[in-house]
């Protein structure tokens, strides 16, 4: 057991300095990085110095996000891939290593939802949501972890879960709830398994965020107001408000944090 006298906590990695959140020299993949929360995370990681691979299905918006990252002064690459396709996620991780020489951070942000009463959900709808939100996230993590394990320098995996990973709702989102609940506990399992490689695995649980995903709700004033009131702060969040937690979990500021689900939810789960 290391103790104070042996200088364990005086190691360079635990040094407190103004560059605690600096990501210079780190390489990140952000899935679903072309818009919404993912795009804000791409720009946020680049602001703190990381090179960023924007992984997304749509070329036009994906290339645009990569161009905006380069304006921050770091390298960026768009990789067109569907996270539900295991072979494509494996290729994306390998291509990142080939182009940028390494991979340090994976943000599993890609996700889909659907509004369908539980009694009407079809097997195809179940497979589609679980295929992206859970299976895609798992195999993208596996592909990234293989590169990180090979590098031998640890890594960070940050899963964008949801408040709906721990609370239910009446909104007809049962499969989404199931997928995000599984992400929260998968995060803990991977954190335990990959701790020996110093790969820290955490999730973030956003509240309602103003993106295309919540557009239909935003256009229903009565429902939007009801949901806003469920946040202690009385409003939806902005994609940029997820960036701080992501940078924290990607940086040297969180070397002793793993298996955690960090809510960024304006107090939705506080009461
Ligand atoms: N918006 C919210 O209120 C909210 C709340 C909690 C959690 N989240 C989660 O945050 C993440 C981002 O959501 P958002 O609000 O920015 O939504 P969004 O719909 O604007 O963005 C989702 C992104 O994921 C991408 N994507 C979807 N399926 C994909 C696939 N198979 N392969 C590759 N990319 C794929 C989309 O193209 C898009 O870029 C999701 O995981 C979502 O579940 C969102």
Q: Can you tell me which atom of ligand 1 is nearest the CA of 161? A: 7
State whether the beta carbon of 184 lies less than 6 angstroms from ligand 1.
Answer: no
Pair of tokens at residue 95:
């291509």
Q: Report the separation in Å between the CA atom of 259 and the middle of ligand 1, taken as the mean of its atom positions.
A: 22
pLDDT of 4 > 80? The answer is: no
Which amino acid residue places its CA nearest to atom 23 of ligand 1? Answer: 32
Q: Is residue 12 part of a domain?
A: no
Kindly state whether residue 73 falls inside one of the protein's structural domains: yes
What is the C-alpha separation between 58 and 2, in angstroms, rounded?
A: 50
Question: 125 in a domain, yes or no?
Answer: yes
Residue 260 has pLDDT above 90, yes or no: yes
Residue 62 · residue 54 · CB < 8 Å: yes
Q: How far is the CA of 131 from the centre of ligand 1 (A)?
A: 13
In terms of C-beta density within 10 A (0-12 exposed, 13-18 middle, 19 or more buried), how is residue 151 classed? middle
57 lines ligand 1 (CB under 6 A): yes
Domain containing residue 157: CATH number: 3.40.50.720
Question: Does the beta carbon of 179 lie inside 6 Å of ligand 1?
Answer: no
CA 37 to centroid of ligand 1, rounded, Å: 7
For ligand 1, whether the C-beta of 208 sits within 6 Å is yes
Per residue in 239-256, pLDDT tens?
999 999 999 999 999 999
Tokens of 214: 């919540």
Look up 176 and say whether it is catalytic. yes
**Within-domain flag for 115:** yes
Residue 242 lies in a domain: yes
Confidence of residue 2 (pLDDT cuts 50, 70, 90): low
Total domain count, the chain: 1
Distance from the alpha carbon of residue 85 to the mean position of ligand 1, in angstroms:
16
Average pLDDT, integer, range 93-112: 98
Could you tell me if the CB of 141 is within 6 A of ligand 1? no
Predicted pLDDT of residue 76: 98
* Ligand 1 contact via 60 beta carbon (within 6 Å): no
Backbone phi, then psi, for 44, in 5-degree steps?
-65, -45
Ramachandran assignment for 186, one of left (phi > 0), alpha (psi -120 to 50 degrees), beta (any other): alpha
Give the active site residue among 78, 100, 139, 176.
176
Q: With pLDDT > 70 as the criterion, what percentage of the chain qualifies?
A: 98
Answer positive or negative: Cα dihedral of 131, 137, 139, 140. positive
Contacts of 95 (CB under 8 A, 6+ apart): 79
User: Does some domain include residue 80?
Assistant: yes
Which domain, by its residues, includes 58?
Answer: 21-264
Residue 56 has pLDDT above 90, yes or no: yes
Nearest CA owner, ligand 1 atom 38: 32
| Residue 126 confidence (pLDDT) above 90 | yes
pLDDT band at 141 (very low <50, low <70, confident <90, very high): very high
| Inter-residue contact 48 to 107 (CB < 8 Å) | no
From the CB of 109, is ligand 1 less than 6 Å away? yes
Ligand 1 centroid from CA 108, angstroms: 10
């Amino acid at each position: 057991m290391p103790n104070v006298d042996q200088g364990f906590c005086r190691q360079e990695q635990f040094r407190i300095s103004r560059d605690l959140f600096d990501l210079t020299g780190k390489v990140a993949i952000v899935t679903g990085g072309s818009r919404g929360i993912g795009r804000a995370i791409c720009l946020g990681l680049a602001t703190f110095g990381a090179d960023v691979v924007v992984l997304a299905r749509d070329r036009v918006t994906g290339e645009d996000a990569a161009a905006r990252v380069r304006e921050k002064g770091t390298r960026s690459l768009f990789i067109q891939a569907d996270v539900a396709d295991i072979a494509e996620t494996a290729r994306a991780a390998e291509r990142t290593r080939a182009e940028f020489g390494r991979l340090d951070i994976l943000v599993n942000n890609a996700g889909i939802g659907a509004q369908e009463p539980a009694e009407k959900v079809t097997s195809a709808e179940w497979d589609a949501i679980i295929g992206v939100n859970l299976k895609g996230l798992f195999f993208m993590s596996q592909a990234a972890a293989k590169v990180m394990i090979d590098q031998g320098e640890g890594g960070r995996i940050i899963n964008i879960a949801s408040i709906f990973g721990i609370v239910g709702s009446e909104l007809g989102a049962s499969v989404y709830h199931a997928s995000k609940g599984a992400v929260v506990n998968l995060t803990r399992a991977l954190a335990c398994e990959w701790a020996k490689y110093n790969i820290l695995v955490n999730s973030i649980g956003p509240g309602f965020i103003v993106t295309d995903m919540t557009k239909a709700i935003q256009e229903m004033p009565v429902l939007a107001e009801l949901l806003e009131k469920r946040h202690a702060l009385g409003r939806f969040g902005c994609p940029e408000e997820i960036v701080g937690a992501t940078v924290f979990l990607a940086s040297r500021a969180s070397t002793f944090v793993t298996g955690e689900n960090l809510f960024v939810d304006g107090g939705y789960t506080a009461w």
